[in-house]
Amino acid sequence: MNLLKRLFGPNAEELAAKAAMATELAAKAAEAKRIATKAAESKALDERIKALESIAGMPRDNPCDWGDATDNAYFQGERDTYRWEAAKELVGILIRSKDEESALTEIALNHKIKEVRSSAQVELLEFFLTEGQESSQEALIRFAYDRRFSQHLRESAIASITSQPALVGLAEGDPELGIRLAAIAELLDEPALDRIATNDAGRAVRGAAHLRLCELTMRGSDAEVEALNTVLMDAELEDNIRAIAARRLGAIRTPKALDALVAASDLEFKELGYKQEWAWVTPPTIFDELGRTMTSRAFQMLFKHLRLCWARQAMNHYKKDPDTYVRFTIDAFNRAESDAARYQALDMICAVKTPAAIDLIVVALKHADEHLRMSAINALRRPPEPYPVEPVIQCLDDPCNEVICQAAYYLGEHGDCRAIGPLSKAGVFRAEYVRKDALKELSRIEERQAVESLISALRGHSEQERASSATKLGKIGDPQAVLPLIEALADESEQVRACAAKALGEIRDRRAVEPLKNALKSGTNPEALAALAQLDDPQAKEMHLRKLDPGRVEQLIVKASEGKEDAIKALGQIPDHRAVEPLIKQLLNENRSVREKAAISLGRIGDRRAIEPLRIAVKSRSVKSSGHDEAHVALGGFGDPWAIEKLVSAAIQRSLSNLRKTAIFHLGQIGDVRAVEPLIALLNEKDRGVREATAEALGNIGDNRAVESLTKALGDEDISVRMVAAEALARIRIHPAG
């Protein structure tokens, strides 16, 4: 203060007071900013939580029969994915900055949404399994005893419990059969198991305890196999107990145990036939254990019953050892008593294609049955490599026309030059369609050979040869030329680089986008601009405006003035405002296609000078006036009220569902908020497609007025509408309009 007085004299105290006041105000302003930021973050988090709860809480469909479930499998799977991902994210948000165990427990037991509770229960169990050994055991025991948790998670917890008293308590006292069986499977206390096997009131529990005792005391002896076989063959026992017996027999793997599994598989096959593909536990377990034995006898039994889905699944165990799999399949083919069984063996073996497998397929190519010969060709066609040619060339002399056609297609597909001569002679004395097929495949091979030759020529010494090869490759349009053409963008010759860029644009493969952009940035290839335009790259328009040769634009404008459709289309892709007047004139062209393309290009250029001519053109019907064409969309993009009104009118009319959906789609793409209220009303339409298109459009517009109606749509009777409504809500709440 003394220093201040010396510096400022009598005003020192006043200045000090003002400085203190300024410091205090700055502190208050900083605190207010912090509180406002925290409030904004809290509000955004609340909005996110509400959106996630809306998605996670979407109503499930009523149970339906297998046919309906198959028809709706895709939509149900997509819906469940959204619901469970939302539930998992919501749990992560709710436990943030809290004690993890207590927060997860609270959510797992008390949250109002079932899917969120289930997700929290899974997280809680994983948390316990990663804790220290002693604390983990105590937590797992509490989890397993708490009946408020789902049964399958309690069973998972039991599998990690080592405390025998805790397991005995669950095995003897829990009301859920699955929990008692899970506890018995982990028990090592033989007196307790003996007590349960003797005194328990439940037959299934007694049987499970008896099997566990056999496993602990007999240790794979013949006596245990006999006891297990008795249980397995008792069709009146519960599925769970018989499945335990099947798994134990599979683990023993003695010849007698295998005999028991084979006999049981025959019994199940006779009981089920081919009708009950969806049996619960026992049949799948029996066939799976047969597959695990990896023996020839088990393979023959599974092959015999391949029309059952569990037998086909069990075959996957053999595929882990390709040599064994092929050897057993060849044996099954040779033993087969019917063509159907031989077809099945071919179908199985083509997925491996070892030399022995190829030999078997070649043998089948000469079989007396023509359908088997065609099956053999199809088996060779399937991946993986190799794809042998010589055996299939011999099939071009087959007495059956269909076999020749199949062989020709195979040869054309793989393009081996060895097939050119035989194909040129194939079908000479056969039906006309055989000759046509042979000539068509011959042309495919010759074209492929030409492509390979041209690719080689791209690396030749002659500049003219390289440029010509690039041009021809672009006209052929084979995707295998893309990478060599990309390499040619760095050729020392400007002519070759230009031809390569043009060819890449004609092939239209997205792999060329980045190399073409790099060529533009380096300034070595102006032709890359046109190629990018053909590829319709999002950044190509901006790059055209910066780098396009003015002379090139003028050439396009001249051609567009003459009504050349390609030039009109190209001007819309550039875009250049010098093209507006010539394009407006083409709205009056006699050719309807020219008028339509001119309207599209004007919409893409976005120059407001086109608004009135587009209105006049639509009103005079010189372009389509259906309410959903590109001219209307262009006018809507300008914010033109008349165009928005026309599109809304098309959307709300009661006829022509496809017209309505297209108009709704364009309203969503334009994103004008004036369409929100009319679209909200369409969420109550009877037409499912209209409701779905409307929900998607409202999500694209992103106006908060649609939130309430979209939330109601989460209860729509149709699953696809519910899914689209959930996505729309997520978009609005994450990226609101404005």
Q: What are 9-32's pLDDT values in tens digits?
A: 566 566 667 667 767 766 766 666
| 714, amino acid identity | L
Residue bearing tokens 């436990």: 95
Q: What pLDDT was estimated at residue 65?
A: 38
Alpha-carbon span 177 to 444, nearest angstrom: 65
Dump pLDDT digits (tens) for 296-306.
888 988 888 88
Q: What pLDDT was estimated at residue 575?
A: 60
By the 8 A CB rule, do 104 and 123 touch?
A: yes
**3-state SS of the chain: helix, strand, coil percent to 5?**
75, 0, 25
Alpha-carbon span 434 to 133, nearest angstrom: 73
Closest CA to 286 of 252, 319, 243: 243
If you write DSSP's letter for every residue of 584-647 in order, what string do you get? HHGGG-S-HHHHHHHHHHHHHHT-GGGHHHHHHHHHTTSS--SSSSHHHHHHHHTT-HHHHHHH
Alpha-carbon span 423 to 326, nearest angstrom: 32
Dump pLDDT digits (tens) for 409-439.
888 777 777 777 777 776 555 677 777 777 7
> Can you give the residue ranges of every domain in the chain?
2-56, 626-738
CA 716, 722, 726, 728 torsion-angle sign: negative
Output the CA–CA distances (angstroms, integers) from residue 232 to 185, 240, 294, in the order listed: 17, 10, 21
Which residues are within 8 A (CB) of 216 and not within 5 positions of it... i.e. 6 or more apart?
Answer: 188, 190, 193
Dump pLDDT digits (tens) for 430-486.
677 777 777 777 666 766 677 777 888 888 888 888 888 888 888 777 788 888 999
Two structure tokens written together for 71: 């028809």
- In Å, how far from its chain's centre is CA 262? 39
What is the SS3 assignment for 332? Answer: helix
Pick 626-738's CATH classification: 1.25.10.10, 3.30.1360.30, 3.40.190.10, 3.40.640.10.
Answer: 1.25.10.10
- Residue 145 confidence class, pLDDT cut points 50, 70, 90: very high
- Give burial (CB, 10 Å; 0-12/13-18/19+) of 706: buried
Alpha-carbon span 506 to 510, nearest angstrom: 11
